[in-house]
């Protein structure tokens, strides 16, 4: 990837910034061996989300949905954070206010050391009872019942603790993400197609509020035209290089 050239204005804004938000999507975990959803090789290119990632699908065929999430959980458990996750965690100590807002359910940001983090779409590392809300570790639930969702002591069924299409985002989490995007000085978007709402609206919100908007994605997105700085390369290369520049600027 080309070395990153920062204009004096961008360097000054990075030096002076107090509040930074990192907004991430499936692309940040691509170099950890996890699939994205859209684009070449994306899961939704060969699987139907309406049959796998909706409450209706779970009602219609709980075993199929459970087995699919068990497969995905297996890929996540076998994966490791990559240099992009590590660089994002490294930046946390450089800013008085720094938060990672992720659409990912893989937990790789936490495994890389990120602490201040909001999971907009939940997590595949946990299962939750549909009836009483009791939570448990997903790996344990799968080990107990690999073929179909295990039952809770209340008689309810466990499901992956992710947000499915057609479901609302966790209110408190989204409210915090919204506040962070509306008040940040720097908004870094990494590895998201920016096509799923309401999450994608955070990009527009931050840009509209005057934040320095940086986009990392090998492919253009609907928001690329708004970017003050666009790094058209893989996150595993672009984010560590950007982190070096941010560190140098501060
Ligand atoms: N580095 C950076 N970006 C990458 C890389 C990489 N190595 N590889 C691919 N990308 C980019 C793609 O160009 C694409 O724009 O990552 C993006 C992934 O987009 P999506 O697959 O649409 O993933 P995401 O934006 O996270 O999807 C949002 O949709 O399916 C739902 O709930 C799911 O959270 C997900 C949401």
Phi–psi pair at 127, nearest 5 degrees: -120, 155
pTM of the model: 0.97
In angstroms, what is the span from residue 153 Cα to ligand 1's centroid? 37
Task: Give the pLDDT band of residue 39 (cuts 50, 70, 90).
Answer: confident
Nearest to 203 by CA among 188, 191, 218: 188
Least-confidence region, from 1-15, 16-30, 202-216: 1-15
198-233 confidence digits (pLDDT tens): 999 999 999 999 999 999 999 999 999 999 999 999
239: CB partners within 8 A, 6+ apart: 28, 83, 84, 87, 88, 190, 216
**Ligand 1 proximal residues by C-beta, below 6 Å:** 25-27, 30-31, 36-39, 42, 103, 121, 191-193, 195-196, 216-219, 221, 234-235
Contact 163, 169 (CB under 8 A): yes
Burial grade of 86 (CB within 10 A; 0-12, 13-18, 19 or more)? buried
Taking the centre of ligand 1 as the mean of its atom positions, its distance from the CA of residue 144, in whole angstroms, is: 32
The residue to mutate among 23, 38, 203, having the most atoms of ligand 1 within 8 angstroms of its beta carbon, is 38
Minimum-distance ligand 1 atom for the alpha carbon of 103: 34
Res 65: pLDDT: 98
Expressed in angstroms and rounded, the spacing between residue 152 Cα and the centre of ligand 1 is 33
Ligand 1 centroid from CA 106, angstroms:
13
Range from 1-5, 55-59, 87-91 carrying the lowest mean pLDDT:
1-5
CA of 195 to the centre of ligand 1 (A): 9
Ligand 1 atom nearest to 38, measured from its CA: 21
Is the model's pLDDT at 69 over the cut of 90?
yes
207 is catalytic: no
Roughly how many angstroms between the first and final C-alpha of the chain, as a whole number? 23
Q: Whose CA is nearest to atom 36 of ligand 1?
A: 196
- Of these residues, 85, 121, 178, 207, which one is catalytic? 121
The confidence band for 1, taking pLDDT boundaries of 50, 70 and 90, is: low
Query: 93-147, pLDDT tens digit by residue?
Result: 999 999 999 999 999 999 999 999 999 999 999 999 999 999 999 999 999 999 9
Instruction: Return the SS3 of 66.
Output: helix
Q: Measuring CA to CA, which residue among 28, 80, 3 is closest to residue 192?
A: 28
Question: Is 174 within 8 Å of 7 (Cβ atoms)?
Answer: no
Which band of pLDDT confidence, cut at 50, 70 and 90, is reported for residue 68?
Answer: very high
For 146-197, write each residue's pLDDT tens digit. 999 999 999 999 999 999 999 999 999 999 999 999 999 999 999 999 999 9
In angstroms, how far is CA 34 from the centroid of its own chain? 12
């Amino acid at each position: 990837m080309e070395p990153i050239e920062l204009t004096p204005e961008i360097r000054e804004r990075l030096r002076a910034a107090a509040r930074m938000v990192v907004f991430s999507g499936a692309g940040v975990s691509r170099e950890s061996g996890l699939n994205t959803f859209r684009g070449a090789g994306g899961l939704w290119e060969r699987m139907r989300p309406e049959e796998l990632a909706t409450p209706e699908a779970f009602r219609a065929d709980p075993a199929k949905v459970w087995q699919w999430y068990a497969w995905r959980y297996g890929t996540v458990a076998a994966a490791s954070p990559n240099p992009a996750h590590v660089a994002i965690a490294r930046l946390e100590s450089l800013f008085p206010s720094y938060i990672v807002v992720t659409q990912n359910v893989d937990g790789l940001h936490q495994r890389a050391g990120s602490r201040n983090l909001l999971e907009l779409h939940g997590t595949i590392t946990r299962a939750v009872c549909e009836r009483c809300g009791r939570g448990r570790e997903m790996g344990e639930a799968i080990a107990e019942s690999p073929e179909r969702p295990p039952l809770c002591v209340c008689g309810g069924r466990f499901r992956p603790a992710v947000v499915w299409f057609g479901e609302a985002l966790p209110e408190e989490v989204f409210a915090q993400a919204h506040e962070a995007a509306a008040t940040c000085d720097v908004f870094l978007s990494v590895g998201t197609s920016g096509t799923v709402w309401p999450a994608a609206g955070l990009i527009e919100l931050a840009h509209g509020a005057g934040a320095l908007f940086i986009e990392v994605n090998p492919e253009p997105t609907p928001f690329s035209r708004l970017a003050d700085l666009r790094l058209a390369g893989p996150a595993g290369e672009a984010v560590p290089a950007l982190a070096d520049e941010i560190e140098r600027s501060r």
